[in-house]
Structure 1
Amino acid sequence: MSTAFHPAQYDTQLNEKRERLQTLLAPFDAPPPEVFESARGHFRLRAEFRLWYEAGVPYYAMFEQGDKRSPILIEQLPIASRQINALMMPLLEACKADPILGRKLFQVEFLTTLSGQALITLCYHRPLDDSWDAPAKTLAEQLGVQLIGRSRGQKRVLQTDHVVETLQVAGRQWHYQQIEGGFTQPNGEVNQHMLGWALDAAGENNDDLLELYCGNGNFTLPLSTRFRRVLATELAKSSVRAAQENLRINGVENVTLVRLASEEVTQALTGVRPFRRLQGIDLTGFEFGTVFVDPPRAGLDPATLKLVKGYRRVLYISCNPETLAENLQELTKTHRVVRCALFDQFPYTHHMESGVLLERR
């Protein structure tokens, strides 16, 4: 996480990102990107701090990338949510005052939501036992948060290990269970923009959607309203469980969720091999007109690229514009870019999220 915070430079930095994305997409005749800005401050819903001890007194510390010996001691973090900032010092003071809470505490992780919930994980260099629970429960009640204790091989959960986020997309509320330690989009407001753009780009459809890398169902839930049926795939077990719960709590019934890697999806759809995890699922009953992908930073592997080229439309969300451009070299042999977008998930850094909609030529 960057410690840089220069709001006066935000517009300049955002324009540089827009120009960089346009340059990367220029060889593919992409239209100018739709740009979705971030709030200038208090946009980050997650934060992780190491504790740095001076004369036995703990301080929140962050480090520049590649430097673990020169701490930047902080009491507030302007890029973090207001809720995180409000919790930081009361939590630290409580841990300083109670040796059971504070002894060998080395890291604090905050997870907050736009809906006002908060979960804090305290990480220790010592085993935790029952004596930790009572003061931790008192602190959790005082702060109005969920509190978890972690040490090597241990996870002590007082009540629940998740929060529930509520996002507004195209006039509808969606509820997401976000599990401690699981992946969530850090910039909630920009995530809402991403979901809204994907929904608009998808349009109304009478056929089905194939979604790869669905995670906890972040995009799956709203996109389910624009297609007859959805086949969503994800490999990580924890993400699959979260996605199943999110489908349940939102009453979404037209999504079939399967735990498969992208290369396994290719094998299943092309009939190369059967999978027991697909038992009872009739893949031939789907009529996919659109494929949605949100791959890791490495982008799409060659087999998945070959698979997605077989569909009429490709909706691609990318966390790495360089690998997106590499993938487009292949995808634009059969498809053309009709829409693109820049989502400023990570202000004051060089990172950006982008999206493209491709249609078959």
Structure 2
Amino acid sequence: MRSKRPPFPTASKSRKPVPPKRGGKPSTSTPTVTIDALSHEVRGIARVQGKTLFVDNALPGETVKVRYLANRAKFDEAVATEILESAPERQSPPCPHFELCGGCALQHMQPQAQIAAKEKILLDQLQRFADARPDEVLPPLTSDTFGYRRKARIGVRFGREKGRRGQLLFGFREKRSNDLTDIQQCPVMPAEFSGQIPQLRQLLEDCDEARHISHIEVAMGEDAIALVVRHLQPLPESDLARLLDFVRERSWHLYLQADETAQKVFPEDGAERLHYQLPEFDLTLQFHPQDFVQVNFDINRQMVHRAVELLDVQPDERVLDLFCGLGNFTLPLAKRAKEVIGVEGATELTARARENAELNRIENVRFQGADLTADFATSPWARGGFDKVLLDPPRTGALELVRNIARFNPKCIVYVSCNPATLARDTAELIQRGYRLTKAGVMDMFPHTTHVESIALFERG
């Protein structure tokens, strides 16, 4: 298929090109290139005069015209401006802000192609860094690709021009920039919030001191929507009244944050909690709007089911849950096991996990705060060993941790990962310690983004 028009809006001519790190200006040429493959950042890869070119908004098999963004020593970066021959996987980006907004990078790619690309990235990384391939590739976990995101931080900037109020900017950061994309909607967020963005923008426009607001955090439980308004200076009573009227009309929650701690101001019920449910396990988990929780509730439910299924916990077994957070995996595992120990480095999440255990009347679980980069094998809570282990580390992975885990010699380990590169590195370590990678697969936790979420099962060899 041939097209003379770009499949997305062209950037504003006033935008400055991204300067290269090594000096000099990006090339002003607009060559035609053929995209050969996708990178591990899900960008198109082409070759121009023998040099690698990474191309945003381009898919394998396409012929595109590009605009250079940066010239570097070993590779260049560009964006496709015209699609001459399009791939079957291409679609028109559903969001009108796609071309500028940095929140989503893959809306030009059909969802099934996105998840296939992410699965390939996972398997490629495992092969490259661990020389391993799972005995079984698990079916991807997928769900609705729009309306899924339950948490977000939206920037607020109120410019002034020649002493007069300028344009309100309300949105996410632009691609490759600290500037804000001014949004009117966000299709990846639930409609009950996205549909209110114009009214929220108007509220900020009407405020007397909106320039003191740096950003608004949005957190959505299954019971309510909460706004956390971060302000750098005290807000006048007039602005506070406007904010209160806005949330009261919608039965939302309102928090104000002047320093590190956010304070709830509405409703005045004292309960600083939202909640989500795991119906399969008859669990309700509460969280503060600023706590870490999985933003995709549907995929989270599928993920918890799969993790418990893979561990196959028996009633006489003792289980260790590392990076346990507020108990997302710990409490479901406790429904199956003799005892579960949840360990977390963030003390506020450990306290929240204990609250959730009490709320759900689960007594065969203990939560412990600990530095998970240190050797904890001799800690009192670790005595007695563990039959099975689940870990859900940050993007940096858990290299030191997997070395310590191996000393317990558990029957199996389930590793939930948000970074296939560190998962692959840690896989090599586990294989060296006598474990076999038996199952692995991807989970579409963040559709339309380049984030690759995965889960892997390791069994003692």
Give the structure-2-normalised TM-score. 0.69
The question of whether the paired residues in 1 share the 8 Å contact of 2:330 and 2:341 is answered with no
Does the residue aligned with 1:121 lie in a helix, a strand or coil?
strand
Show the 5 A alignment for 1:324-339.
324-333=423-432, 334-339=434-439
Decide which of 99, 110, 114 is 2:208's aligned counterpart: 99
Show the 5 A alignment for 1:1-361.
2-4=103-105, 6=107, 9-26=110-127, 27-30=131-134, 31-53=136-158, 55-69=165-179, 71-99=180-208, 102=210, 104-113=212-221, 115-128=222-235, 134-152=241-259, 155-158=262-265, 159=268, 160-168=271-279, 171-205=280-314, 206-264=316-374, 266-267=375-376, 269-270=377-378, 283-284=382-383, 286-302=384-400, 304-309=401-406, 310-333=409-432, 334-361=434-461
Q: How many angstroms does 1:305 deviate by?
A: 1.9
Instruction: State, as a whole percentage, how many aligned pairs show the same letter.
Output: 24
| Residue identity in the other structure for 1:161 | E
Deviation digits for residues 220-245 of structure 1, max 9, x if unmatched?
11111121101111111111111111
Does the residue aligned with 2:110 lie in a helix, a strand or coil?
helix
The question of whether the paired residues in 2 share the 8 Å contact of 1:146 and 1:161 is answered with no
Hey, what's the Cα distance between the residues in 2 that align with 1:248 and 1:289?
A: 25
The question of whether the paired residues in 1 share the 8 Å contact of 2:311 and 2:413 is answered with no
Hey, what's the Cα distance between the residues in 2 that align with 1:231 and 1:336?
A: 24
The question of whether the paired residues in 2 share the 8 Å contact of 1:5 and 1:79 is answered with no
| Residue identity in the other structure for 1:225 | K
Hey, what's the Cα distance between the residues in 2 that align with 1:204 and 1:183?
A: 26
Hey, what's the Cα distance between the residues in 1 that align with 2:363 and 2:175?
A: 44
| Residue identity in the other structure for 1:306 | R
| Residue identity in the other structure for 1:290 | K
Hey, what's the Cα distance between the residues in 2 that align with 1:311 and 1:189?
A: 30
Q: Which has the higher contact order (CA 8 A, sep 6+)?
A: 1
Deviation digits for residues 110-146 of structure 1, max 9, x if unmatched?
1112x24111011223124777655443332112111
Does the residue aligned with 1:94 lie in a helix, a strand or coil?
helix
Hey, what's the Cα distance between the residues in 2 that align with 1:99 and 1:156?
A: 21
Hey, what's the Cα distance between the residues in 2 that align with 1:172 and 1:7?
A: 37
Hey, what's the Cα distance between the residues in 2 that align with 1:221 and 1:294?
A: 14
| Residue identity in the other structure for 1:120 | L
Hey, what's the Cα distance between the residues in 2 that align with 1:117 and 1:173?
A: 20
Superposition CA RMSD, Å: 2.3
Does the residue aligned with 2:282 lie in a helix, a strand or coil?
strand
- Deviation larger for 228-237 or 342-351: 342-351
Deviation digits for residues 87-109 of structure 1, max 9, x if unmatched?
32233323333436x45223121
Q: Which structure dedicates a bigger proportion of its chain to helix?
A: 1
Deviation digits for residues 253-296 of structure 1, max 9, x if unmatched?
111111112244x33x33xxx6xxx5xx6x54x45110111111
Hey, what's the Cα distance between the residues in 1 that align with 2:189 and 2:326?
A: 23
Give the structure-1-normalised TM-score. 0.87
Q: How many angstroms does 1:83 deviate by?
A: 2.2
Does the residue aligned with 1:297 lie in a helix, a strand or coil?
coil
Higher Cα Rg, which structure: 2
Structure 1 residues 74 and 131, CA gap change in structure 2 (3 angstroms): closer
Hey, what's the Cα distance between the residues in 2 that align with 1:165 and 1:357?
A: 26
The question of whether the paired residues in 2 share the 8 Å contact of 1:232 and 1:255 is answered with yes
Hey, what's the Cα distance between the residues in 1 that align with 2:153 and 2:373?
A: 33
The question of whether the paired residues in 2 share the 8 Å contact of 1:2 and 1:349 is answered with yes
| Residue identity in the other structure for 2:429 | E
Partner of 2:24: none
Hey, what's the Cα distance between the residues in 1 that align with 2:241 and 2:182?
A: 30
Hey, what's the Cα distance between the residues in 2 that align with 1:217 and 1:258?
A: 11
| Residue identity in the other structure for 1:163 | L
Hey, what's the Cα distance between the residues in 2 that align with 1:23 and 1:305?
A: 21
Aligned pairs, how many?
343
The question of whether the paired residues in 1 share the 8 Å contact of 2:344 and 2:370 is answered with yes
Instruction: List alignment gaps of at least 5 residues for structure 1.
Output: none
Hey, what's the Cα distance between the residues in 1 that align with 2:152 and 2:451?
A: 17
